Structure 1
Amino acid sequence: MTDIARHLAAIDELRARPFPDRPVSGPLLESGPGFHIADLRVSEDFWDADLARVAEVDEEFDAELRCLIQALSRRWGEPEAVDLTDHLERSALHEPVPPPLDSLCSYVGRLHAWRVDGRWVAVGVGQGDRELPIQLVAAIGEGDMR
């Protein structure tokens, strides 16, 4: 099974999974009322990495994200681009940001999202800080993404 096929299977599993009544966290999955966030792939840490290595891994993750977006677009059409900058600014000002966007905006700048069967499905790549791993994430949620 290819990486993209595994990612699609993980997204399908998340879409079918009920949302919990209270927040639940695991090593690769965070869930709560109305959402799931899953790490589809996580790179190594970059504490002592040179910038060339970071750029190489970043490019690799962006390419994988593009392939995943293409696969999901074949299913559901073109995605909506969702810039999370406003959510990050509101969070910094201690204004309310709905979950899971409150968590995602701290390390993902942009999501590619589809509305499917009453939920939204989004994918993106992010990194919390230069030394931290790069993450390819999928999120499933209810309600508005704005």
Structure 2
Amino acid sequence: MDIAKALAAIDRLCSGTFPAEPTRTDTGPAGPGYRTAELATSEDFREDDGARREETAEQYECDRDGLGERLTERWGPPQVFSLYSVLARTTEGEAVAEPWGRLSGHVPDVQLWRARETGRWVALGVSQWDEEWPFQLLAIVTDVDPP
């Protein structure tokens, strides 16, 4: 992962507008009040015995933490926000505002900052939908408060 490119993508999300309807942009999913950047995507793990998956998970967490260090220099230490309770609430049928409801299905937790310049929330998380699917390092910028 190229940290300079990832920071530029986050800056672009922070300064950009949000779409009026859910859509897919050149950086990832977006909708009213949020935009996502898929900063890195691994290969899938259909032919893996588990070793490559574990190594990739560790690498993506390291990439998230390294990028997080740069954001900490800007905005101070992050909150670590678990999305487990959000997932439980959506599973029980509760409507949770996006992007939080959707994220909870594939991102267990996020590092979360409040950008001083815009007041928007900036979250970093590692996504993995299923054991065979690829990992993704995601940056999410939103004006929707965490639930």
- Report the TM-score, using the length of structure 2 for normalisation: 0.94
* In structure 1, C-alpha distance between the alignment counterparts of 2:65 and 2:79, rounded to whole Å: 14
Structure 1 residue runs of 4+, over 3 Å off? none
Q: What does the per-residue CA deviation read over 1:4-38, in whole Å, with 9 as the maximum and x for residues that have no partner?
A: 11110100011111001111114741111100112
**Structure 1, unpaired ranges of 5+:** none
* In structure 2, C-alpha distance between the alignment counterparts of 1:80 and 1:10, rounded to whole Å: 21
Residue identity matched to 2:145: D
Q: What does the per-residue CA deviation read over 1:95-138, in whole Å, with 9 as the maximum and x for residues that have no partner?
A: 01110011111110110111112210010112011011011000
* In structure 2, C-alpha distance between the alignment counterparts of 1:27 and 1:21, rounded to whole Å: 16
* In structure 2, C-alpha distance between the alignment counterparts of 1:69 and 1:43, rounded to whole Å: 19
Match of residue 113 from structure 1: 112
- Report the TM-score, using the length of structure 1 for normalisation: 0.95
Indicate whether 1:35 and 2:34 are aligned.
yes
Match of residue 67 from structure 1: 66
Taking only aligned residues, the RMSD between alpha carbons, in angstroms, comes to 1.2
Task: Report how far residue 143 of structure 1 moved.
Answer: 2.7
Task: Report how far residue 40 of structure 1 moved.
Answer: 0.5
**Structure 2, unpaired ranges of 5+:** none
Match of residue 85 from structure 1: 84
Residue identity matched to 2:33: G
Match of residue 53 from structure 1: 52
Identity %: 39
